[in-house]
Copies of this chain bind each other. A is one copy, B any other.
Amino acid sequence: MRGIQNMLAEDRECRDIVTQLAAATKALEQVGFRMLASGLASCLQDPEKSAAEGYPIKEVERLFLKLS
């Protein structure tokens, strides 16, 4: 993020900034998808425990859609 702000401030090549933006976006999405994949695995292993902790499978699905 800081790196991208510097690139914008330094008026760097548009195509280089777009490449960094795409990489940063992908990295953020992957963090989210990893978290949710692990949440989904918990739901499937023990749906009642997961729901009791506030994450029924419908909620995990909703969070997936929020990121996609």
Contact = CB atoms under 8 A, between A and B. Distances in A.
A3 B8 CA distance: 21
B17 A22 contact: no
Nearest to A67: B22
A15 B63 contact: yes
Given A18-B67, A39-B14, A28 B25 contact: yes
Interface of A: 1-2, 4, 8, 14-15, 17-19, 21-22, 24-25, 28-29, 31-32, 35-36, 39, 55, 59, 63, 66-67
Given A18-B32, A21-B31, 12 more contacts: A1-B24, A4-B28, A4-B31, A14-B55, A17-B35, A18-B66, A21-B28, A21-B32, A22-B32, A22-B66, A25-B25, A25-B67
